[in-house]
């Protein structure tokens, strides 16, 4: 799922291309994408774009007459900017937003159709999509600590809860926790002040660094390689590969469709955390420490 750094660069790229432009029409190619009926989608045709913004992991296109298009890419949704006359990707294109200067294609790989488009009118209707998460990059330590300690969850769950922190998902939570040298299953209300300060610094640094990196990769163009798995990442998607800090193999916890990656030596004091499926299968043979794996 595109997270804060990816969505910020999407927003900046869209702002440069469509701000002040008239949205000539939206062509809906898959009816399951649209999740609202009032106002009708046709209400946005011909309206001028007044701005583009991020709301958590959502992208909001503001239009004249207080109309808003709210795009949620979910896991497999992506945006592509097409020059006039270009052919949109077959089968995966869900909607086309047509402007005089080009066309925005909303695509989604796979068949689960989780991506969504809402058309809403008025600030109150838009505010309903705001989960209330803290904007970590701008937050001071006191605000960050208050959010973290508000509920007692594992660090992984807390960082990815949109009610607590805005725009952080599976990938960047792994990177933040690796940078902070903290276990993904540590409980938020048991962290001491030094650990919270370390996490705060790591969270701000990781999000800022990756936003800058992705912005530089786009280099004024439209981002086209939006993925949760990048070779420069330290932990996420690196199962079995050496930790860039200590060279121990990166470990994982698999649950549902998600995977948490971490370094046992750097983050858990050498303890290999139980994976729900594998630890049940291996039982007594499940390694308890990173040294047993060697």
- Domain-wise residue ranges, the chain: 4-127, 136-293
Rounded Cα–Cα distance for residues 50 and 37 (Å): 22
| 280, pLDDT greater than 50 | no
pLDDT of residue 224: 87
Q: Structure pTM?
A: 0.92
DSSP code string of 65-82:
GGEEEEEE-TTTEEEEEE
Mean pLDDT rounded to a whole number for the chain? 93
Pairwise CA distance, residues 267 & 286, whole Å = 19
Say whether pLDDT at 290 is over 90.
no
* 124 CB burial (10 A radius; 0-12, 13-18, 19+): exposed
CATH class of segment(s) 4-127 = alpha beta
254 phi/psi in degrees, rounded to 5: -105, 130
Q: What is the band of 279 on the pLDDT scale with cuts at 50, 70, 90?
A: very low
Each residue of 23-79: pLDDT tens digit?
A: 999 999 999 999 999 999 999 999 999 999 999 999 999 999 999 999 999 999 999
What average pLDDT does the segment 123-152 reach?
A: 97
CATH assignment, 136-293: 1.10.8.50
Least confident of 48-57, 76-85, 273-282: 273-282
């Amino acid at each position: 799922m595109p997270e804060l750094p990816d969505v910020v660069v999407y927003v900046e790229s869209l702002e440069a291309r469509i701000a002040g432009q008239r949205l000539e029409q939206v062509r809906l190619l898959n009816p399951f994408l649209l999740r609202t009926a009032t106002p009708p989608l046709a209400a946005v045709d011909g309206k001028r774009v007044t701005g583009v913004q991020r709301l958590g992991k959502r992208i909001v296109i503001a239009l004249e007459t207080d109309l808003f298009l709210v795009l949620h890419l979910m896991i497999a949704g992506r945006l592509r900017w097409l020059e006039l006359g270009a052919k949109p990707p077959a089968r995966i294109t869900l909607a086309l937003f047509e402007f005089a200067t080009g066309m925005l294609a909303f695509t989604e790989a796979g068949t689960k159709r989780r991506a969504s488009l809402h058309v809403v009118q008025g600030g109150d209707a838009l505010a309903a999509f705001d989960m209330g998460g803290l904007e970590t990059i701008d937050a001071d330590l006191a605000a960050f600590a208050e959010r973290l300690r508000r509920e007692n969850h594992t660090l992984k769950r807390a960082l990815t809860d949109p009610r607590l922190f805005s725009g952080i998902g599976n990938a960047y939570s792994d990177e933040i926790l690796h940078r902070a040298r903290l276990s993904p299953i540590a409980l938020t209300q048991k962290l001491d002040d030094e650990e919270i300060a370390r996490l705060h610094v790591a969270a701000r640094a990781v999000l800022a660094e990756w936003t800058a990196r992705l912005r530089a990769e786009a280099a004024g163009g439209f981002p086209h390689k939006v993925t949760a798995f990048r070779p420069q990442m330290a932990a996420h998607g690196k199962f079995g590969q050496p930790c860039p800090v200590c060279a121990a193999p990166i470990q994982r916890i698999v649950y549902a469709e998600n995977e948490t990656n971490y370094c046992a030596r750097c983050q858990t004091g050498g303890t290999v955390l139980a994976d729900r499926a594998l630890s049940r299968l291996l039982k007594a043979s499940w390694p308890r420490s990173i040294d047993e794996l060697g």
